[in-house]
């Protein structure tokens, strides 16, 4: 079996949905099709939640109305038959009635998750109806019946596997299954999600759960590029990446993949392919356990919204147990640390989730002076064993020479050098590294 995941832009226009239908039916394998919401929808749903949280019901109402118009126009074009249009109109009414009811009740975080789930519920139901209209036999597989996370927001892979096996064995003759990306149930059995961009994660979790032959992530670009194509010109797709390289790039900002989407596939050794819905025959990127023999830097990514915390304390001097105490504070507030550097008298680290920053700071102050800097970016430079290759670090540093570096992390893994810069330098740094490291490719 295989998994094919289509992102927002791949289902965001009626003609693209038809293309998705062509792609899933040309495959001969039994396939679980994972769909995101139509592009732009989740952003609008986020805005509805924000408006409601701020008590601005009229603003929320006008976003809901605008979105409904969009879906009506979309379906008018998507469906040709009377039955198809009728079914679509019922789906739209059902989900927008739900959103309108929410306007009347008091808002809370759990309702917000229900709002956010509407995008994937709509896209999959509409796509399933399109398959019906076109006479393509498929099974609708509600993600809320098998995708779950525990109280620490971690996916329950074993449970997911058991539930999926059960459903799939009920449909032995069927070859196409349609399900939602992103959404799941939490430990309280409420609707929840796998965070923004989470449909990639869904695909990888399903791939691991069913030991798929491949997880295909279909998007709007021909694979993982060697630098951020939104910022740098003339970036190139990378044909092959190892799981470790892809995980570093995804974690450190390559938006094409959700940060956590590699580990499930890696754990079960399921290859992941990044493919372009708009150019289905392009090679894309294949991610496997195989480590490339090609040396040097393979790719660069950047992660925004980083906050650095420095704890300066002469008491720390060589004291054992000090780092443990510092880390325990972050653990207590479930805040993960990205980068870390230490000196004799200070420790600097970075976080991207500032929800608990204030309490963390208060607790850290018992150890010494705490300084906080916001608006930073981590630039991550990835390549196989770049640590072992002569001159690579020198080359990287030459490119970075004009920019003030707040932190440098080297040696944490053999594949990665990361630097922390002010966000305002990010674009220049990415371009400078591109020119200095890839110009002879
Ligand atoms: P989808 O909606 O299909 O999930 P995303 O917008 O989440 O698609 O991811 C695809 C986008 O990721 C591309 O359009 C591209 O602009 C952006 N991107 C950022 N960094 C990279 C990179 N290194 N390689 C390829 N795409 C990247
Ligand atoms: N629709 C969700 C989002 O926009 C999930 C996804 O697209 O992967 O974040
Ligand atoms: Mg995405």
Predicted local confidence at residue 317, as pLDDT: 57
Nearest atom in ligand 1 to the alpha carbon of residue 249 is 23
What is the share, in percent, of the chain residues with pLDDT greater than 70? 98
> Residue 295: pLDDT above 80?
no
Predicted local confidence at residue 414, as pLDDT: 80
Please give the average per-residue pLDDT across 126-135, as a whole number: 98
Predicted local confidence at residue 253, as pLDDT: 87
Give the architecture (CATH level 2) of 299-437. Answer: 2-Layer Sandwich (3.30)
> Residue 440: pLDDT above 60?
no
Please give the average per-residue pLDDT across 338-359, as a whole number: 93
List all residues whose CB is within 6 A of at least one atom of ligand 1.
7-10, 36, 197, 219-221, 224-225, 228-230, 254-256, 301
What would the pLDDT profile of 308-321 be if each residue is shown by its tens digit?
999 998 766 557 78
Predicted local confidence at residue 97, as pLDDT: 97
Nearest atom in ligand 1 to the alpha carbon of residue 227 is 23
pLDDT band for position 323 (50/70/90)? confident
User: How many A from CA of 142 to the centre of ligand 1?
Assistant: 26
Predicted local confidence at residue 439, as pLDDT: 66
Q: Is 42 in the pocket of ligand 2 (CB under 6 A)?
A: yes
What is the share, in percent, of the chain residues with pLDDT greater than 90? 86
Q: Which of 69-78, 184-193, 363-372, 381-390 has the least mean pLDDT? A: 381-390
Q: Is 197 in the pocket of ligand 2 (CB under 6 A)?
A: yes
The pTM score is: 0.94
Instruction: Say if domain 2-219 classifies as CATH 3.90.230.10.
Output: no
What would the pLDDT profile of 242-281 be if each residue is shown by its tens digit?
999 999 999 998 899 999 999 999 999 999 999 999 999 9
Predicted local confidence at residue 316, as pLDDT: 63
pLDDT band for position 103 (50/70/90)? very high
- Of residues 340 and 320, more confidently modeled: 340
Q: Do the domains at 2-219 and 299-437 have one common CATH topology?
A: no
What would the pLDDT profile of 40-89 be if each residue is shown by its tens digit?
999 999 999 999 999 999 999 999 999 999 999 999 999 999 999 999 99
Residue closest to 34 by CA, chosen among 170, 218, 258: 218
User: How many A from CA of 197 to the centre of ligand 3?
Assistant: 4
> Residue 176: pLDDT above 70?
yes
Predicted local confidence at residue 293, as pLDDT: 75
Residue spans per domain, the chain: 2-219, 299-437
Nearest atom in ligand 2 to the alpha carbon of residue 198 is 8
pLDDT band for position 441 (50/70/90)? very low
Q: Name the residues around ion ligand 3, CB cutoff 5 A.
A: 7, 197
> Residue 182: pLDDT above 60?
yes
What would the pLDDT profile of 402-433 be if each residue is shown by its tens digit?
999 999 998 888 888 999 999 999 999 999 99
What would the pLDDT profile of 1-26 be if each residue is shown by its tens digit?
999 999 999 999 999 999 999 999 99
């Amino acid at each position: 079996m295989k998994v094919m995941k289509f992102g927002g832009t791949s289902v965001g226009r009626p003609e693209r949905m038809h293309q998705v239908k062509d792609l899933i039916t040309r495959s001969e394998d039994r396939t679980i099709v994972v769909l995101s919401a139509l592009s732009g929808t989740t952003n609008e749903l986020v805005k509805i939640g924000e408006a409601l949280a701020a008590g601005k019901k009229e603003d929320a109402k006008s976003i809901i109305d605008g979105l409904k118009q969009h879906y009506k126009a979309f379906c008018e074009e998507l469906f040709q038959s009377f039955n198809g249009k009728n079914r679509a109109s019922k789906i739209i009414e059902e989900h927008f009635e739900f959103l309108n009811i929410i306007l009347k009740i008091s808002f809370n975080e759990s309702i917000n998750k229900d709002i956010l789930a509407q995008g994937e519920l709509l896209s999959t139901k509409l796509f399933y109806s399109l398959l019906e209209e076109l006479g393509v036999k498929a099974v609708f597989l509600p993600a809320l019946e098998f995708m779950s996370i525990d109280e620490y927001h971690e996916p329950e892979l074993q449970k997911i596997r058991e539930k999926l096996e059960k459903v799939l064995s009920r449909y032995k003759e069927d070859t196409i299954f349609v399900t939602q990306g992103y959404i799941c149930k939490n430990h309280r059995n409420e609707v929840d999600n796998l965070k923004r961009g989470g449909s990639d994660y869904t695909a990888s979790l399903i791939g691991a759960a069913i030991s798929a032959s491949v997880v295909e992530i279909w998007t709007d670009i021909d694979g993982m590029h060697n630098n951020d194509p939104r910022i740098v010109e003339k970036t190139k797709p990378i044909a092959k990446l190892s799981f470790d390289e892809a995980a570093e790039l995804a974690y450190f900002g390559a938006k094409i993949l959700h940060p956590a989407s590699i580990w499930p596939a890696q754990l079960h050794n399921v290859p992941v392919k990044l493919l372009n819905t708009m150019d289905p025959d392009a090679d894309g990127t294949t991610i496997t356990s195989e480590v490339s023999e090609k040396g040097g830097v393979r790719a660069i990514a950047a992660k925004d919204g980083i906050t650095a915390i420095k704890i300066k304390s002469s008491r720390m001097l060589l004291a054992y147990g000090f780092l443990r105490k510092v880390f325990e504070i972050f653990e207590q507030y479930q805040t993960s640390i990205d980068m870390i550097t230490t000196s004799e008298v200070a420790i600097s680290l970075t976080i991207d989730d500032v929800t608990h920053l204030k309490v963390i700071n208060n607790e850290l102050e018992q150890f010494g002076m705490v300084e906080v800097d916001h608006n930073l970016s981590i630039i991550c430079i990835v390549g196989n064993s770049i640590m072992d290759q002569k001159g690579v670090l020198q080359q990287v540093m030459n490119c970075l020479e004009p920019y003030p570096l707040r932190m440098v992390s080297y040696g944490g893994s053999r594949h990665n050098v990361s630097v922390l810069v002010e966000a305002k330098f990010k674009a220049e740094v990415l371009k400078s590294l591109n020119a200095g490291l890839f110009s002879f490719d």
